[in-house]
Chains A and B, each alone.
Chain A
Amino acid sequence: MKRLGALGSVLRQLGQAVVVVIGSTLFLSLLLRLLPVGLAEIYAGGFDEASRAARLKELRLDKDPVTFYLLWLRDFVAGDFGPIVSPGGGTTPVADKVGSALPISLQLMFYVQVVALVVSVPLGIYTAYRSGKRSDKAISYGLFTASSIPNFVFGLLLAVFFGVTLAWLPPLGYVSPGENLVEHFRTMILPVASLAIPLIATYTRLLRADVIATLREDYVTMAVSKGLSNKRILFSHVLRPSSVTLFTSFALNMGALMGGTLVIEQLFTIPGLGSEIGIAIFSRQFFALQSYVAILAVGFVLFNTLADIAVGFVDPRTRERRRA
């Protein structure tokens, strides 16, 4: 029976995710109808009567908004993200752009999360262990301040300092790992650092609070009285039960990280999804914009749902609490 309950809650969470995804993509699709200038004007402005009708039919702009959305959704699920229409009339599929830009953005986000976790786990445990001491206060205050500094400020400052003043690292640009692995990591250090520092601050604070709470548990006192080393207690008895909040926050921060990635890509001229969104806005490719934003929203919902489900399995108490 218990298994069925777990499966049921997973199915319900997936159902909610589907509702949210449909709602947000419908919202984005209808948003395009709010353009101060009609989509027909943008996509078939200078056309004569006959080719204009053909073009509108081809882009499905002759349909009503809801039918348009349903057809768009069908294509989107099938992996067809719509066309980028050049002024001359030729079209290229948005899917091509997504294919080249999305992996770069994902790579950047992956590096950021890995770096943030690798730094904040030991830092969180250390500050909790030294809680109230001077070193904890210094690190905690410093991190609080760092968490409120916007990532583009870090980006600009790091680029000036390490890229220009010291000239240790390239201040801009992107090199793919296949081309030159060393250069790839050298170009990624500054963007990854500017996105990771605020995340490190958030994660460390959360982990510190949870570790302090766990250290008060009876089984820790038990472990201490058995004579286990502090290191062993912290890493094998305390870390795991203290990491649930961190785990949830990891998924929730994906949204902020997606926004941050857009800005940082623009700043460091990395050809990821953020740069493509910028290009789409400037060249008025609203179908492309709709699909890019939809991809981000779907990814965000997916991450949150997976995290919810995973936390439910790691710590069954939260599942019960959520149902109540």
Chain B
Amino acid sequence: MRSAFRRMDLFTKVCSTWLAIIAILAVVGPFLPLPDPREADFAAPGVKPFSPGHLLGTDSNGYDLLSNVVNGTRVSLMISLVSVLVGGLIGSSIGIISAYVRGRFDGIVSTLFNIILSIPNLVLGLSLVAVLATSPDPSIPVSSNRRIFVIMLSLTFVIIPILGRIARGATLAWVNREFVVAARSMGMRDKDIIFKHIVPNVLPAIYSVGFLAIGVVIVAEGSLSLLGVGVVDGVSWGAMIARVAGEFTYLPHSMYVPVTVLALSVIACNQVGDHLRSRLDLREGKI
């Protein structure tokens, strides 16, 4: 772990440190001495940064920006981690198995991946959330917890074919190597070959693309919010951006805060993913 950190260049070190800070804030956020993110300070709406009691100022409703951005980390990071972990696990299992067994199963899996990938990422996520988060009664909006769940589910679905195709491609490159053929000819069981010989070799490729995918999902969460189907009245970066997008003409600082944090996190994810990829020199790992 330590030697891995030492081998990074300065920019990558800064980026991974930033990601670590974000991850810590996501966990300890609620225990920090900050105002309640959902409680409006009516005495101080739209105050500038470095005002008393509001280090980064407030938006036009009086919501504390620092508290919202710190507490929003939890939801935004949870959505991206869960969808990339679950989607990556499902996708790469399917990809590895289909490349290992080949034949008709592989043909069907590849076609299904191609079909899902033919719908642009964001458009697919948008349609899934729009359909699944429709409330039976138009006058009662869907609760924010249910929305978070639906967004996670939809983005997981978006991630499955992306990582699945990477895993399939990487497996195809290993499956005919001598040591795999040797293991098979010695009568090793398929399950053991996959876990002992294929998975350890394919895993690095999946990690590095996984980091890029986390960035993609963070952006997707923000975009969905701007399109009006995100975590509408909850606490997340996307929700913050959607709320302040209408008031940037007169309160630009309330927009700078979430936008900067989000952009820095995506840059950091991409840099760390790119660093891993350049160490592995994988050309197919492009999202």
9 CB < 8 A contacts A-B: A23-B111, A23-B112, A149-B266, A150-B266, A256-B121, A256-B122, A281-B229, A289-B127, A300-B120
Q: Say yes or no: B223 contacts A150, CB within 8 Å.
A: yes
Interface residue ranges of B110-130 to A (CB < 8 Å): 111-112, 114-116, 118-123, 126-128, 130
- Measured in the bound complex, the distance between the Cα atoms of B227 and A151 in whole Å is 13
Scoring B119, B131, B248 by chain A CB atoms within 10 A of each residue's CB, the highest score goes to: B119
Stretch at the interface among B64-72, B77-85, B94-102, B133-141: B133-141
Stretch at the interface among B18-26, B30-38, B201-209, B255-263: B255-263
Interface residue ranges of B247-285 to A (CB < 8 Å): 248-249, 252, 255, 259, 262-263, 266-267, 269-271, 274
In the complex, B234 has a CB within 8 A of chain A: no
- Measured in the bound complex, the distance between the Cα atoms of B110 and A19 in whole Å is 12
In the complex, A32 has a CB within 8 A of chain B: yes
Q: Taking chain B's interface residues, is the majority helix, strand, or loop, or is none over half, making it mixed?
A: helix
Q: Say yes or no: B252 contacts A31, CB within 8 Å.
A: no
Q: Which residues of A contact B (CB under 8 A)?
A: 16, 19-21, 23-24, 27-28, 31-32, 34-37, 41, 141, 144-145, 147-150, 152-153, 156-157, 159-160, 163-165, 171, 255-256, 258-260, 262-263, 266-267, 274, 277-278, 281-282, 284, 286, 289, 293, 296-297, 300-301, 304
Q: Say yes or no: A278 contacts B228, CB within 8 Å.
A: yes
Interface residue ranges of B169-210 to A (CB < 8 Å): none
- Measured in the bound complex, the distance between the Cα atoms of B126 and A36 in whole Å is 16
- Measured in the bound complex, the distance between the Cα atoms of B127 and A139 in whole Å is 37
Q: Say yes or no: B263 contacts A284, CB within 8 Å.
A: no
- Measured in the bound complex, the distance between the Cα atoms of B137 and A160 in whole Å is 38
Which residue of chain B lies nearest to A19 when distances are taken between CB atoms in the complex? B111
Give the number of residues in B that approach A within 8 Å (Cβ atoms): 45
Q: Which residues of B contact A (CB under 8 A)?
A: 11, 111-112, 114-116, 118-123, 126-128, 130-132, 134-136, 138, 215, 219, 222-223, 226-229, 241, 245, 248-249, 252, 255, 259, 262-263, 266-267, 269-271, 274
Across the interface, which residues of A come within 8 angstroms of B115, CB to CB?
19-20, 23-24, 27
Which residue of chain B lies nearest to A171 when distances are taken between CB atoms in the complex? B249
Which residue of chain B lies nearest to A273 when distances are taken between CB atoms in the complex? B123
Q: Say yes or no: B245 contacts A262, CB within 8 Å.
A: no
Give B231 Cβ to nearest chain A Cβ, in Å.
15
- Say yes or no: A20-B114 contact (C-beta < 8 A), given A156-B245, A293-B127: yes
Across the interface, which residues of B come within 8 angstroms of A152, CB to CB?
222-223, 226, 241
- Say yes or no: A148-B223 contact (C-beta < 8 A), given A34-B132, A35-B131, A278-B228: no
Contact partner, B259, options A157, A256, A296, Cβ 8 Å? A157
- Measured in the bound complex, the distance between the Cα atoms of B114 and A23 in whole Å is 9
- Say yes or no: A28-B245 contact (C-beta < 8 A), given A21-B118, A23-B115, A35-B134: no
Give B122 Cβ to nearest chain A Cβ, in Å.
3
Give B222 Cβ to nearest chain A Cβ, in Å.
6
Q: Say yes or no: A255 contacts B136, CB within 8 Å.
A: no
- Measured in the bound complex, the distance between the Cα atoms of B136 and A271 in whole Å is 29
Q: Say yes or no: A149 contacts B116, CB within 8 Å.
A: no
Q: Beyond A23-B112, A34-B132, A171-B249: 14 further Cβ-contacts under 8 Å?
A: A21-B118, A23-B118, A24-B115, A28-B119, A31-B128, A35-B132, A148-B215, A148-B266, A148-B267, A256-B120, A258-B120, A281-B229, A297-B118, A300-B118
Q: Say yes or no: B127 contacts A28, CB within 8 Å.
A: yes
Q: Say yes or no: B241 contacts A281, CB within 8 Å.
A: no
Across the interface, which residues of A come within 8 angstroms of B121, CB to CB?
255-256, 259
Scoring A21, A32, A171, A277 by chain B CB atoms within 10 A of each residue's CB, the highest score goes to: A277
Which residue of chain B lies nearest to A22 when distances are taken between CB atoms in the complex? B115
- Measured in the bound complex, the distance between the Cα atoms of B248 and A160 in whole Å is 7
Across the interface, which residues of A come within 8 angstroms of B123, CB to CB?
258-259, 262, 293, 296-297
Across the interface, which residues of A come within 8 angstroms of B252, CB to CB?
160, 164-165
